[in-house]
């Protein structure tokens, strides 16, 4: 089971809400930091690095580092492997 992403509004601001499964539901995901889990969830929705950086208000370089950490921690070889999981 992977993190779920939803969008909502709060006080006129658009928010991206990410629900991460518990360690019992998905042991591989337990090793991810909250930021890495958020990036993984957005990747699974097909978001590109630029879009993830914009949504998370960070740099594309930071997103690339987080993607690499996600792939390493989950034992995956590529973003496509993440989509197939």
Q: What is the CATH number of domain 4-84?
A: 1.10.10.10
Backbone angles phi, psi at 37, to 5 degrees: -65, -40
Per-residue model confidence as pLDDT tens digits over 42-69: 999 899 999 999 999 999 999 999 999 9
Domain assignments of the chain as residue spans, ordered by start: 4-84
Per-residue model confidence as pLDDT tens digits over 1-11: 566 667 666 66
Nearby residues of 57 by Cβ (< 8 Å), 6 or more positions away: none
Distance of CA 24 to the CA centre of its chain: 19
pTM over 0.85: no
Give the side-chain half-sphere CA count within 13 A for 54.
6
Token representation of residue 63: 């997103």
Q: How many residues does the chain have?
A: 85
């Amino acid at each position: 089971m992977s993190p779920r992403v939803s969008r909502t509004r709060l006080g006129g601001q658009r928010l991206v809400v990410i629900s991460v499964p518990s360690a019992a539901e998905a042991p591989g995901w337990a090793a991810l930091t909250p930021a890495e889990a958020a990036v993984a969830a957005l990747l699974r929705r097909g978001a590109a690095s630029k879009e993830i950086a914009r949504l998370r208000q960070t740099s594309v370089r930071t997103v690339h580092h987080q993607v690499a950490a996600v792939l390493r921690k989950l034992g995956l070889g590529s973003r496509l492997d993440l989509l197939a999981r």
